[in-house]
Structure 1
Amino acid sequence: MSNILVTYFSASGVTKNVAQKIANDNGYDLFEIVPEEIYTPADLDWTDKNSRSTLEMNDKSFRPPIVESVDVSDYDTIVIGFPVWWYTAPTIINTFIESVDLSGKTIKAFCTSGGSGIDKCVSDLSNTYPELNFEKGLRLTGMESSDKIKEWIGE
């Protein structure tokens, strides 16, 4: 077992592919954050003001239920991957963070996004959980070399 755990939430499969590549290429353990209710394409329609994702993202206190959590006690570094929704991390990431004890852990966030960067996501998470150690995040496309990923995680 490595002492690095790659966790991720993926609504369309893009983040899942990147997370699997990171874990497989580097021998890290992998955990998928699965919502109790899977997101449909209609749920993800950001142009619909009444879509599930829009309603969730407009309510900063909402925590979408997840199927299960994971024991992170054996890990020093937790990598959390997600797509960018409304310029930040989806609220299901908060559900995950609040379901585990990340005190004393190094947390590295990565996002998959066509345009939005990771800085606001990490800043928002750091402000919500000031007691946790969020380090510099990275926007990934899945085309990065495993050396680049290893270097970022090891920074």
Structure 2
Amino acid sequence: MSNILVAYFSASGVTARAANALAEAADADLYEILPAVPYTDADLDWTNKKSRSSVEMNDPTARPALAGELPDLTWYDTIFLGFPIWWYTAPSIIKTFLEAGDFSGKKIALFATSGGSGLGHTDRDLQSVCPGAVIQNGKLLNGSQDVESLASWAKRT
């Protein structure tokens, strides 16, 4: 077991590919954040204001339930937390994940996948739900990053 964890949520597989490459490059353990109710294509239709993802992202109190249990976080010093950018920030399920565990004293480095928007102030958005951790924005991946780039970033973080 490593003292580094790569935890990620992936709706379409893009973030999963980045997380797998990062975990391999950083010699880290890997944990997939899964929703109790998987997202369908209709749920992810950001053009539909009544789609599940749109409703969740418009409700700051939304906390989609997680499937399964969290890993034992006591072993980890550094956690790379990955997700797709939804509405210029992390999906609500990331807040569920952060509120479900004890991240006190942990360093959490964010990485995200996006077709256009950046990480913005996501670190500040998430710090409010996870005050015991040190959260920092990391890398925005748009599909052009390779394993070597991820590895060098992981080693500097």
One fold, TM greater than 0.5? yes
State the match for 1:87 in structure 2.
88
State the match for 1:6 in structure 2.
6
Point out the more displaced range, 113-122 or 141-150.
Answer: 141-150
Q: TM-score with structure 2 length normalisation?
A: 0.91
CA RMSD for the aligned pairs?
Answer: 1.5
Q: Distance in 2 between matches of 1:2 and 1:119?
A: 30
Q: Distance in 1 between matches of 2:28 and 2:132?
A: 25
Give the partner amino acid of 2:64: P
Q: Distance in 2 between matches of 1:141 and 1:116?
A: 10
Give the partner amino acid of 1:55: V
Q: Is the 8 A contact 1:118 1:139 kept in 2?
A: yes
Q: Is the 8 A contact 1:122 1:137 kept in 2?
A: no
The yes-or-no answer on 1:15 pairing with 2:19 is no
Q: Is the 8 A contact 1:119 1:137 kept in 2?
A: no
State the match for 1:65 in structure 2.
65
Q: Distance in 1 between matches of 2:131 and 2:27?
A: 30
**3-state SS in 2 of match to 1:98:** helix
Q: Is the 8 A contact 1:18 1:141 kept in 2?
A: no
**3-state SS in 1 of match to 2:121:** helix
Q: Distance in 1 between matches of 2:100 and 2:129?
A: 15
Q: Where does the alignment leave 5 or more consecutive residues of structure 2 unmatched?
A: none
Aligned residues with identical type, % of pairs: 50
State the match for 1:106 in structure 2.
107
